[in-house]
Amino acid sequence: MAELGWCAGFVIRTRENNLVFDPDSMHGLARDSSVFISHAHADHSAGFRSRLKKYSTIETREIFESIHGKVVVNFHDVKLHCPIRLGDAEITPLNAGHMLGSTQFLVTLPNTTILYTGDINCLDTLTTTRAERAECDTLVVEATYGEPSYIFPEREQTYAKIVSWALDQIKQGLAPTFQAYGAGKAQELVKLFNVYTKLDVITDQKIAGVNAVYSNNGLKMCSRTVAAEEPNNGNSVLIATRPYFLSDSRKYVKAVTTGWALKMSPKRAAAFPLSSHADYRQLLQFVKDSKAKTVYGFTGYTDVLASQIRRKLGIQSRPLPMLAQKTLHHFR
């Protein structure tokens, strides 16, 4: 019998294994735990800092190392569709479509299968291909936008709006600046301006480091970093993790790109609903395609999504439970 639940991250305990997925701290985890990291975003990748045995794609490790300037030790790389065997469990990484290197993990135990999604996006983008579907008995799915009003517009439409907004600002002598996550979203924006415009794309150092990882993995990023005092030709777009200005005379106008933009009306910024996550409709379809008998949600609208899954799909569903205290003791 496997025990499932949340203890710093998603945990599967079997007779022979403690598998921990995306722990946000190492507190309470057994010393013989195996840590799986689905992607390099900070809320999923804290496990890289632990001394436990760690598994992720090489791309995920490289992005983490580029952002944090740290070398990960006790690391084993995984490849999509190549199962690894640990005792009574077989773990198969599948594409999650969320950012470069992002994976879901399909865990096959002697009597059951469990799919842990990490963060997923079910659409193709300029830098990622859609999350793979897999059938399983139990699905553990992210619920970030698991609320019926979060339905994103067509991505191409959002791409077009972002580009035309940036070109408009430049026409008016203003400097468009996008504030974005350093990994994933920033590279999608770089690619967008590379593909659809001839603008100079300028990024901060943090994004430049991640761009290099993308370029080395076949997703060429054309961008550069400039010193603040360097003259700027006025034909550029800035992409940065925090407010970033050059010493030219232009006025800087800010934009944000996030799924939350659907319900934002920021005063001094433009907001575009470009998300690296599945929206509500995609999540429901993903759950349906998994043919899971039980679905647990984590992160975001867990209660809402669980009740929608029960009502609309007739599948047993609830937020991922905490592991019982006695189990926690058992873990130490």
* List of residues contacting Zn ion (CB under 5 A): 41, 119
Q: Which is nearer to Zn ion, 93 or 176 (CB)?
A: 93
Q: Which is nearer to Zn ion, 22 or 232 (CB)?
A: 22
Residue nearest to Zn ion (CB): 41
Q: Which is nearer to Zn ion, 119 or 232 (CB)?
A: 119
Q: What token pair was written down for 17?
A: 């294994």
Residue 37 Cβ vs Zn ion, minimum distance, rounded to whole Å = 11
Residue 230 Cβ vs Zn ion, minimum distance, rounded to whole Å = 33
**Could you tell me if 330 and 32 are in contact, meaning their C-beta atoms sit under 8 angstroms apart?**
no
In 3D space, the residue among 279, 330, 332 whose CA is nearest the CA of residue 308 turns out to be 279
Q: Which helix (H) or strand (E) holds 303?
A: helix 302-308
Q: Which is nearer to Zn ion, 63 or 139 (CB)?
A: 63
Q: Write down how long the chain is.
A: 332
Task: Count CA within 13 A, CB hemisphere, residue 142.
Answer: 24
Backbone phi, then psi, for 13, in 5-degree steps? -110, 125
Residue 96 Cβ vs Zn ion, minimum distance, rounded to whole Å = 9
Residue 299 Cβ vs Zn ion, minimum distance, rounded to whole Å = 9
Q: Which is nearer to Zn ion, 59 or 119 (CB)?
A: 119
Give exposure, 298-332, as e/b (b: 16+ Cβ within 10 Å): bbbbbebbbebbeeeeebebbbbeebeeeebeebe
Q: Which is nearer to Zn ion, 167 or 262 (CB)?
A: 262
Residue 2 Cβ vs Zn ion, minimum distance, rounded to whole Å = 26
Parallel/antiparallel/unpaired status of strands 53-56 and 34-36: parallel
Write the Ramachandran bin of 34: left for phi over 0, alpha for psi from -120 to 50, otherwise beta.
beta
C-alpha dist (Å) from residue 129 to 162, 188, 221: 21, 12, 17
Q: Which is nearer to Zn ion, 64 or 331 (CB)?
A: 64
Residue 265 Cβ vs Zn ion, minimum distance, rounded to whole Å = 25
Residue 228 Cβ vs Zn ion, minimum distance, rounded to whole Å = 30
